[in-house]
Amino acid sequence: MPNLNNFSTAFSIWTSSKCYPILLGCFLFLLSGPIDAHNGDICYALPIADISIDGDLSDWPSDAKTYPIANYLFGFKPSTDKDLNASMRIGYNLANQSLYVGVEVVDDEYIRNPDDPQWFSQDLQTLHLDLDHTQEGSGVIGYELSTDTAYIVHKTLNTWTAQVQTANWDDVEIKIKRSGDKTIYEWRIFIGEKMALNRSIGFDYMIIDKDKEGGNGFVVWGKSDKAKHNNENLLGDLILLPKNASLVKVEGKLKWQGEKLAKYPQKVRLTSINQPSFWVQAAVDTLGNYSTEVPIGKYEVSLVEELVFVKWDAAVRIKGEQSQQILLETGKTQEIAPLFITKVNPPDDLPKKGILHNFDEEASKSLDQFVKDYQEFYGIPGVSVALIKEGQLIYHQTYGVSNSMSKAPVHENTLFEAASITKPVFAYVVHRLVEKGIIDLDKPLHKYLAFDELEGKEDYKLMTGRHVLQHLSGLPNWGRELKNKPGTKYGYSGEGFEYLKRVVAKITGKEIEQVLKEELIDPLSLYNIHFSTNETLRKFASQGHYDGIPFVKELPKAAGMAWSMQTEAKAFTKFALALLERKGLKPETYQEMMKMYNEYPLRDGQVKPDYPDGMGQGIAIRSSAYGKVFGHSGNNGDFHCNFEVYDDLKMGYIIFTNANTGYMLHKDFAKLLVEGKKIEKTLGKANKK
């Protein structure tokens, strides 16, 4: 292992068994809305020779173009150039098949933490590469570097992307040199046969600037509002140009064909006809204009098809009517003929009456077609579905793939993150403990176990288990602070369930998974339900997706009672049926659990539902034209799921999806299966007032 502690020592970096990954992607990708497809930024690499990797950029060509690294991503924003001012230059050498990157950072505080070098505790750089650069998606190599650490981001987790698996620090030569308030990072990266002229590579660069006061600032070269190491579509394009290459500026415009939207698509793609491995994407502005510079040649210009959300629960697709070919020659700016675009509405497959009432072979075909139509339109890779009728499982089907890159199919053992569906499962366990006299729902939780971070807040001592289960705890969804006085205001809170989990573990003297086994798994004879990492989960877990791209994250190391359950539709049906049959708890306990205590507050622009819709005691409860409905939805960002059971009809459904857009499918499932399409009533002119 080389010594990284000496700034003046050149080194080749190792693949460390002690990893310090950037763990930011999880919460960044929980932000709503579609992900950009390439950020539209382009940089150019020209041939260079006789460059020494020594932390001195004086041997680079004097006319080498520099690119500012100045797009604020999130965190502590640099206030002055002395706080952070960074730029980069890029070249290549065909003889040694290497890419060269020189980065200059001016920063009056250079923070190291060799004793505990976590990513958030030091100044850090990440160089992002997508060498395969396929239009279908090929993953991101993230070379994460500080003076004391080196790490290939997600190498142990991203097992489906070949270029990430084969990446290693033996292919990298790097020198860090600090002088005054300036630090030079000089890179040489061997890329082998991927080195070729007139081709493009996915590329980006991120700086994490740690300050003694103010936390971390995150600054990137290519524009984006999300972390890049999870998604190659967030990188910019790097073009490898021959010496004295001629670039042509191209300008074009999008025009609507038919109904217009206020928002234009974000990207247009230019692909070389003679060398399809060379392609770039140009950003579209708010007026539908785009421009970029590319080498002379013949190109196909096409729209990058896009899903656009017009509100949180309504989306359309934007498609290009027809691509066009252009020939770019040396000379002045070339204008491209308008590219016509069309708005495509979502599927409208909802029947007037739910198909589960008379479920036969024809109805099952309708269900399958419905799921496939929604999968295609909303970009949902994988789905697992089970149906209940007359109090029993009558149908189970899986669709699509568990990973959009590996193309591994979803099968009946494929496991999905159940997200917040974990909550009613834990609520069932808590009610079992109540009946045994182990926990009192009305006893303040702090009397069982203190919540250390809240000890200075006297109001928190009012919080009970009942408050947690009814989402009246006063805690935010996530965050160890008190937002409201317990018992006074509805506020959905996963943090409350995690506190209640710690209380249960304390008063039972057992690990929470042992409690789950004794009070849930064994009594109900459940199977294929997991709460933390094990061999089965590692073997059968589906990958979550954001806009069709697999999202890389670790499996849960410990059970979380607000979010960590993983299962599949057929297996989870046993729990849904247990609730329907009122198994394992006294009738009066079920009555208390399934009473609605709080109606959900409306989202912005959301219309008040025709029937009350809210929260029971650890489980969601709503009314319908067919009586009471109990269940719960789940959203971990890259997984969406739902289960609902119609109490009087003794019918229901369970659905799991592995995509951030999965809720667009399951939000219509109740209408498809039971309630039918709502027919909007309109008044004639004579009746209008």
The whole-number average pLDDT for the span 117-141 is 92
User: Which residues of the chain does CATH 2.60.40.1190 include?
Assistant: 11-240
pLDDT on residue 215: 85
Quick check: 16 pLDDT over 70?
A: no
Quick check: 678 pLDDT over 90?
A: no
Question: In sequence order, what are the residues at sequence separation of 6 or more whose Cβ sits closer than 8 angstroms to the Cβ of residue 114?
Answer: 5, 147, 148
Question: In sequence order, what are the residues at sequence separation of 6 or more whose Cβ sits closer than 8 angstroms to the Cβ of residue 2?
Answer: 9, 11, 12, 13, 14
Closest CA to 542 of 234, 553, 23: 553
Higher-confidence residue of 503 and 32: namely 503
pLDDT on residue 673: 97
pLDDT grade for 543, boundaries at 50, 70 and 90? very high
pLDDT on residue 226: 78
∠ CA 647-650-654, nearest 5°, is: 90
The fold for domain 361-675 equals: Beta-lactamase (3.40.710)
Beta bridge partners of 397: 385
| pLDDT one-digit tens code per residue, 405-427 | 999 999 999 999 999 999 999 99
Q: What do you get for the CA distance between the two ends of the chain, in Å? A: 82
pLDDT grade for 27, boundaries at 50, 70 and 90? very low
Residue 235: half-sphere exposure toward Cβ, Cα within 13 Å: 31
Task: Determine the residue type at 79.
Answer: S
Start-end of H helices in 488-534: 494-508, 512-516, 522-524
User: Which residues of the chain does CATH 3.40.710.10 include?
Assistant: 361-675
| pLDDT one-digit tens code per residue, 445-467 | 999 999 999 998 999 999 999 99
∠ CA 163-169-175, nearest 5°, is: 130
User: Which residues of the chain does CATH 2.60.40.1120 include?
Assistant: 247-344
Dump the DSSP string for 246-296. -EEEEEEEEEESSS--SS--SEEEEEESS-TT-EEEEEB-TTSEEEEEEES
| pLDDT one-digit tens code per residue, 174-216 | 999 999 999 999 999 999 998 988 789 999 999 999 988 778 9
Q: Is beta strand 42-47 parallel, antiparallel or unpaired with respect to 85-93? A: parallel
Beta bridge partners of 115: none
pLDDT on residue 311: 85
Would you state the structure tokens that stand for residue 92, as one six-digit string?
Answer: 């290549």
d(CA 37, CA 405): 16
Question: In sequence order, what are the residues at sequence separation of 6 or more whose Cβ sits closer than 8 angstroms to the Cβ of residue 309?
Answer: 32, 33, 34, 315
Place of tokens 């173009």: 65
d(CA 229, CA 127): 9
Return contacts of 356-360, CB within 8 angstroms, 24+ apart.
Answer: 356/387, 356/389, 356/651, 356/653, 356/673, 356/674, 357/651, 357/674, 359/387, 359/389, 359/394, 359/395
d(CA 193, CA 171): 13
Q: Decide if 187 contacts 24 (C-beta within 8 A).
A: no
The whole-number average pLDDT for the span 244-250 is 90
pLDDT on residue 190: 97
Q: Is 532 exposed, middle or buried (0-12, 13-18, 19+ CB in 10 A)?
A: middle
What is the percent of the chain with per-residue pLDDT over 70, rounded to a whole number?
A: 93
pLDDT grade for 243, boundaries at 50, 70 and 90? confident
d(CA 249, CA 548): 32
The fold for domain 247-344 equals: Immunoglobulin-like (2.60.40)
- Give how far Cα 262 sits from Cα of 310, 379, 436, Å: 9, 23, 59
pLDDT on residue 107: 93
Quick check: 88 pLDDT over 70?
A: yes
- Give how far Cα 324 sits from Cα of 3, 124, 329, 622, Å: 54, 43, 16, 52
pLDDT on residue 679: 54
Question: In sequence order, what are the residues at sequence separation of 6 or more whose Cβ sits closer than 8 angstroms to the Cβ of residue 425?
Answer: 520, 529, 565, 575
Task: Determine the residue type at 386.
Answer: A
Secondary structure letter of residue 672 according to DSSP: I
pLDDT grade for 31, boundaries at 50, 70 and 90? very low
pLDDT grade for 664, boundaries at 50, 70 and 90? very high
| pLDDT one-digit tens code per residue, 280-293 | 999 999 999 999 99
The whole-number average pLDDT for the span 18-24 is 29
| pLDDT one-digit tens code per residue, 164-175 | 999 999 999 999
Beta bridge partners of 383: 399, 657
Quick check: 331 pLDDT over 50?
A: yes
∠ CA 596-598-600, nearest 5°, is: 115
> Over the chain, what is the mean pLDDT?
90
pLDDT on residue 3: 31
Query: Domain 11-240 maps to which CATH number in 2.50.20.10, 2.60.40.1180, 3.40.50.150, 2.60.40.1190?
Result: 2.60.40.1190
Closest CA to 177 of 10, 52, 1: 10
Q: Decide if 72 contacts 219 (C-beta within 8 A).
A: yes
- Give the number of other Cβ atoms within 10 Å of residue 262's Cβ: 7
